[in-house]
């Protein structure tokens, strides 16, 4: 591929105690103060939305906690999805995605603030505003025979100590692997060499296994338990595949935004975005497979304890939302990403990535809100405030990373490989 001079405006530059290798494009330098205006704008909108959101706690407590949960799990899913892609990069020892690695590292910076922001959800559970199982297990055993076994099982699993211990384990795993992968990557910018790359590759498989298990059980504990008498063994996969799609789409949008501002144009090219488009296409099919597998097995089994999930979402306007979900989250993105030319078009990629992100939020809303409004859809202004607030937190954490470290791993041993990467001509 002929991209013209690979390194225009070459020089050696510094940022704090970091010296860039000679011959590195200065368009990969940290954004620094250049992004202060964007940060202030996002921070202002996020703070205003957060104020409106918490004001809603005094207006409608149950709506506040459900809206808060919706916004929270959307942001957390994006951050965990970014951690997944970071770990997968190291496990596969991929050369083409070296440049994208730093994008993921900056997105999953949001895990730490989101860990603290989980506290209001715990308050909502304790107050009985979110999960009905809390009141159920803290009541005496029911007299109905068919509920006694359920009470004994749920009483053990949702025991307060055991429940909080599980949550501490989940967040500890996410924070530890997010920090060590990011810190080793930052250190490699200073010392170079392959030692730290090999260290990250050794730890990534354990991190991926723990991430998969912890995210699955988090989905069981916080989302599936909103209907605590319902169960689905595939629900955890359904939750985190949405995070894979959402975080990849967010990464694509961030790269395209940096391109528009003049950054990364010769280091993350359309060749890399083409491969990202392939992954978006594959995950679109995978999400449809998981969603259909869950629905088909429940429909075929026709057991009341399983069908209740979909029956609830047939009430009122929830039925129309249920019909639109596979259309807008699978069919439309499938055909948008099907042509090769679309996966190599920044405009098509941006439009598709934005649609997938919005539909991921739509999917989570469809999972959460029917528990609160079982008769029909009742869209609330707190839903918008929660979405804007938590989206802003993810963006602020990401841009904060862009301002304080190079936009790519400048001393990764395989950096030149990713810069020279070209898709095979079909």
Mean pLDDT, the chain, rounded, equals: 90
Does the residue 346 lie in any domain?
A: yes
pLDDT range class, residue 291, cuts 50, 70, 90: very high
CB 311 within 8 A of CB 302: no
Question: What CA–CA distance (Å, rounded) separates 184 from 206?
Answer: 16
Does the residue 2 lie in any domain?
A: no
> Which residues 6+ apart lie within 8 Å of 308 measured at CB?
227, 229, 230
Give the CA dihedral 4, 8, 10, 16, nearest 10 degrees: -120
Average pLDDT over residues 371-398: 96
Q: Is the pLDDT of residue 4 over 50?
A: no
Return the minimum-mean-pLDDT range out of 115-124, 138-147, 359-368, 415-424: 138-147
Q: Is the pLDDT of residue 3 over 50?
A: no
Instruction: Give the model's pLDDT for residue 266.
Output: 85
Give per-residue pLDDT as tens, 115-172. 999 999 999 999 989 988 888 887 888 777 767 777 888 888 999 999 999 999 999 9
Q: Is the pLDDT of residue 2 over 60?
A: no
Does the residue 40 lie in any domain?
A: yes
Instruction: Give the model's pLDDT for residue 169.
Output: 98
Task: Compute how many other C-beta atoms are within 10 angstroms of the C-beta atom of residue 107.
Answer: 27
Instruction: Give the model's pLDDT for residue 21.
Output: 54
Helix ranges, 128-269 (H): 132-137, 145-157, 160-191, 195-218, 235-260
pLDDT > 70: percent of the chain: 93
> pTM of this prediction?
0.91
Does the residue 108 lie in any domain?
A: yes
CB 283 within 8 A of CB 241: yes
> Which residues 6+ apart lie within 8 Å of 322 measured at CB?
310, 313, 314, 366
Range of the domain at 113: 26-140+150-415
Instruction: Give the model's pLDDT for residue 20.
Output: 54
Report how many domains make up the chain. 1
Does the residue 352 lie in any domain?
A: yes
Does the residue 6 lie in any domain?
A: no
Q: Is the pLDDT of residue 25 over 90?
A: no
Closest CA to 189 of 14, 403, 395, 331: 14
Does the residue 424 lie in any domain?
A: no
Does the residue 9 lie in any domain?
A: no
Q: Is the pLDDT of residue 419 over 90?
A: no
Instruction: Give the model's pLDDT for residue 19.
Output: 53
């Amino acid at each position: 591929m002929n991209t013209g001079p690979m390194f225009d405006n070459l020089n050696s530059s510094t940022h704090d105690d970091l010296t860039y290798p000679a011959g590195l494009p200065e368009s990969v330098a940290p954004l620094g103060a250049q992004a202060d205006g964007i940060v202030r704008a996002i921070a202002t909108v996020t703070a205003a939305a957060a104020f409106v959101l918490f004001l809603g706690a005094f207006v409608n407590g149950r709506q506040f906690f459900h809206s808060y949960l919706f916004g929270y799990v959307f942001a957390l899913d994006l951050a965990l999805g970014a951690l997944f892609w970071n770990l997968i990069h190291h496990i596969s020892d991929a050369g083409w995605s070296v440049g994208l690695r730093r994008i993921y590292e900056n997105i999953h910076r949001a895990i730490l603030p989101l860990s603290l922001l989980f506290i209001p959800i715990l308050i909502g559970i304790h107050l009985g505003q979110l999960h009905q199982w809390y009141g159920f297990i803290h009541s005496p055993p029911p007299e109905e025979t068919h509920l006694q076994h359920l009470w004994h099982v749920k009483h053990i699993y949702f025991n307060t100590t055991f429940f909080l211990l599980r949550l501490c384990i989940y967040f500890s795993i996410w924070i530890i692997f997010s920090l060590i992968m990011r810190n080793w990557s930052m250190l490699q910018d200073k010392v170079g060499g392959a030692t730290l790359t090999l260290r990250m590759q050794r730890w990534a498989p354990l991190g991926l296994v723990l991430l998969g298990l912890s995210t699955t059980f988090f989905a069981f504990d916080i989302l599936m338990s909103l209907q605590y008498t319902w169960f689905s063994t595939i629900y955890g996969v359904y939750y985190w595949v949405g995070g894979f799609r959402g975080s990849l789409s967010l990464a694509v949008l961030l790269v395209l935004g940096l391109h528009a501002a003049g950054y990364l144009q010769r280091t993350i090219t359309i060749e890399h975005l083409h491969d990202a488009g392939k992954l978006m296409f594959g995950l679109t099919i995978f999400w449809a497979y998981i969603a259909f597998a869950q629905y088909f097995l429940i429909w075929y089994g026709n057991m009341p304890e399983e069908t209740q999930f979909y029956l609830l979402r047939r009430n009122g306007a929830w039925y129309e939302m249920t019909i639109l979900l596979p259309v807008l989250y699978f069919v439309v993105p499938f055909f948008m990403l099907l042509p090769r030319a679309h996966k190599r078009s920044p405009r098509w990629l941006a439009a598709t990535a934005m649609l997938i992100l919005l539909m991921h939020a739509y999917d989570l809303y469809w999972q959460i809100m029917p528990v609160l409004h079982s008769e029909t859809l009742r869209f609330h202004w707190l839903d918008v405030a929660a979405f804007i607030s938590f989206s802003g937190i993810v963006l602020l954490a990401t841009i904060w990373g862009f301002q304080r470290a190079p936009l790519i791993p400048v001393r990764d041993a395989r950096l030149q490989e990713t810069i020279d990467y070209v898709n095979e001509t079909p």
